[in-house]
A and B are shown apart, each in its own frame.
Chain A
Amino acid sequence: MIASTGRLVGRRLSEIRHIFRQSPIVGSSNAPRRFSTALNYHIDSPDNNPDMPWEFSEANKERAKEILSHYPSNYKQSAVIPLLDLAQQQHGGWLPVSAMNAVAKVIEVAPIRVYEVATFYSMFNRTNVGKYHLLVCGTTPCMIRGSRGIEEALLKHLGVKRNEVTKDGMFSVGEMECMGCCVNAPMITVADYSKGSEGYTYNYYEDVTPERVVDIVEMLKRGETPPVGTQNKLRIRGGPEGGNTTLLGEPKPPQCRDLDAC
């Protein structure tokens, strides 16, 4: 009797294990999903501390001056976002505390006001990123179209975790919320910091597949620039696959609105 009960229990256990193996927890990493942004406070480290000297380069000083000229002189603090972006481009894709302090000095506000902005926007990285920062859209349309699989493919190919930099410092993968390409979902963005703030690009690659993102990464590794936009050969930008099937003619003007009449 005991033997038969044991056999039953064993069978049931293996069934349960089987069920769990069949449906892996959605998402790539085993750890629970975290916020995409890093810590909201600063921890001193050798490459990121307030005592580190940081200044805009000569070329970027000119650009900063140009950016500041867009705003009234008593509203210098409005330039905080473009200046932080500039600083991030100059510093290889991320913002150490000293860079934020330098921005605060330029726009003449307390450093905390700059920290507030830098922590608010997830496009400002406050930890080291790769030369190519790959951002996978994780919002609903892309997720439905398989962005989790794309992230998984990228992470597997690069052998890193999310927000981690590869050993050669070339790549890092992050998550970004909707970037407005839902019609071409799923999509990734490549922020290219390899050429400094002069050659900085921020390109969208849409309609990607797990295989295609690996191709893109390989091309980037070889120094090539993959074609920007949709990766589906059959689509033209946001248009339907294989060309338009409807609305083929010129659209008629609206009938109800006779603009001359009124």
Chain B
Amino acid sequence: MASVVKGVVKAIREKGIRNFFNVLIEDGYANCLLDGNLLQTKIHSIGGKLVGVDQFGNKYYEKIENTQYGRHRWVEYGDKSRYNASQVPPEWHGWLHFITDHTGDELLMLKPKRYGVAHKQNYSGAGDEYIYHSKGHALNPGQRDWTRYQPWQPTKT
């Protein structure tokens, strides 16, 4: 706890009080007041080792000692107000879920260059949801034509 206070004092001294509060708000400490989950994550992050930050600003922490096994890797989402598990890109997913020990930065190299698409979080319920349309659906951009007959084309006689 002392180290936390020491760090805070050091930061105020370096950035000035105004910038310090800006950073506090940016880092989501303000949200902690209403969001217990985030507060819990922030408290959990104390003493954790920052393993990497992905393109979305999600921070990945690891803490081997003095942590319950299985809770020793966690993510602090970059988006502080609206976060969910689908914001974790696939390269970090494996590390976060103990599938692999390779971090997302390492696995990013495996991403296929030619056809790998950018990760997109799940916006379900937020307007831009992805809805599956069957092959014959009019909203499917690759809609298939199930007409199995060719109609007669009237020509002028």
Indicate whether A and B are direct neighbours in the complex (CB within 8 Å).
no
Chain B positions near chain A (C-beta within 8 angstroms): none
Chain A positions near chain B (C-beta within 8 angstroms): none
